[in-house]
Amino acid sequence: MFDLERWQEIFETIRKNKLRTFLTGLSVASGIFILVILLGFGQGMRNGIAYEFEEDAATSVWVWPGVTSKEFKGLNPGRRVQLRNENYDNWVALNRDRIEYDAARNFVNGVSVTYGNQALVYSIQGVHDNFQFIENAKMLQGRFINYSDLENTAKVVVIGDKIRKDVFGDLDTPLGAYIDFSGIPFKVIGVYHEREDREEERLFIPISTAQQVFNGGDRVNNMAFTLPPAENFEQAVSEAVAFKDQLRQYLSQIHTIAPDDTSALEVWSALEEAKRYYSLTNNIKLFFWFVGICTIIAGVVGVSNIMLIVVKERTREIGIRKALGAKPWEIVGMILHEAIFVTAISGFLGLIFSMGLLELLGPYVEVDYVKNPSVNLNVALTTVFVLILAGAVAGFFPAWRAANIQVINALKDE
């Protein structure tokens, strides 16, 4: 039942001790504020990591050749490993049921690229038709390289949107235009978009054309694969790691590489890398929880200390109340009400300010590996209610002390 006199007493006590109440509430509010902000940045780190890994397909596995660093089976270290078409074709044939998309890539060097009188300095890469899905490239105009282009060694090129803007300017569409590769005209058939400008500074041509027209032979600079979706993240990571290890083992046998020679072949899994980052963010999030909870505990201890001071100051008043017939639970309730009121108001103010700050500024925070810091409202509210409960516990001990004060001693208190 609502007790008007009780609330009048609480507000009167607060009015008489404005500074003390303000500082106590500030310590509680700052605890919630710091915890929510820290948790928001913890979530922002997870958002940032997820955003970074969206650049390529989430389940992609890549392999690059390197230089051997160890002697193996009579072969000296320092050999440069060269991947071939047959390495790619055989691995795909052996693992067709485990692969969603696959593509090899050949870098074309020593070729002059011009459009009209304008010289173009961009990367030329010969790729398979599935490379679009591995790179998560979105087509803005036209199409990507297809199977027919590969089979016919077609003289076609797909350009990035940045190249379209830099080279073709205000032209509505570059589709159908021709770009010269060392005097050989290549028809523009598509414009793709990537998240970063540097990713749009690439000219994609069929890998068969890159190898046959520009003396690439059967060389492959790297290979990429994506795996089908798994039931859960842990299973997906496990399958990616197994695929990666088996790919390394297969290529090591083909090219006579020591099993522990990591410099000869670099095999990278997006899921495995993401798991490392997520594990790091989980540890950071635990640390944030620890710091925030410690700050809240400091605020709760402050509430308890203030209630002890209140009890001490009101000892004579409490003695008079008991002499007039006040029950112990009424004394306890009087002290608890004030403790809970101060804790609740301070906690909700800290929550409102922190959530408001994240809501206003969070969408604009985009630094490396931190994006749109935010906190689940249910988690934040639960934290506040736990804080209120802690405030009640903190106020109970001073209240219990007040309830057990002997009337005769209380009346003698100065």
Determine the longest span between alpha carbons in the chain, in angstroms: 109
pLDDT of 65 reads: 94
- Among candidates 288, 385, 345, which has minimal Cα distance to 14? 345
- CA–CA separation, 411 vs 414, rounded Å? 8
User: What DSSP string describes 208-267?
Assistant: HHHHHHTT-TTEESEEEEEPPP-SSHHHHHHHHHHHHHHHHHHHHHHTT--TT-TTTEEE
Decide if pLDDT at 40 tops 80: yes
User: How many residues in the chain?
Assistant: 414
What pairs with residue 43 in β-bridges? Answer: none
First and final C-alpha spacing in the chain: 34
Say which amino acid occupies 331: I
Q: Of residues 265 and 48, which shows the higher confidence score?
A: 265
- CA–CA separation, 115 vs 135, rounded Å? 26
What are the tokens at 43?
Answer: 């979530």
For residue 72, the 8-state DSSP code is B
Residue 361: band (very low, low, confident or very high) from pLDDT cuts 50, 70, 90: confident
3-state secondary structure of 380: helix
Distance of CA 126 to the CA centre of its chain: 32
Say which amino acid occupies 212: Q
Burial of 238 (0-12, 13-18, 19+ CB in 10 A): middle
Whether the model pTM is above 0.75 = no
- Domain borders along the chain are 4-52+277-412, 101-226
pLDDT of 28 reads: 79
Average pLDDT over residues 344-369: 79
- CA–CA separation, 57 vs 131, rounded Å? 10
Task: List pLDDT tens digits, range 138-162.
Answer: 999 999 999 999 999 999 999 999 9
Average pLDDT over residues 214-233: 89
Cα 314 to Cα 110, 333, 410, distances in angstroms: 90, 14, 9
Distance of CA 215 to the CA centre of its chain: 43
Task: List pLDDT tens digits, range 159-216.
Answer: 999 999 999 987 778 999 999 999 999 999 999 998 788 889 999 999 999 999 998 8
Q: How many CB atoms lie within 10 A of CB 80?
A: 9
Decide if pLDDT at 409 tops 90: no
3-state secondary structure of 319: helix
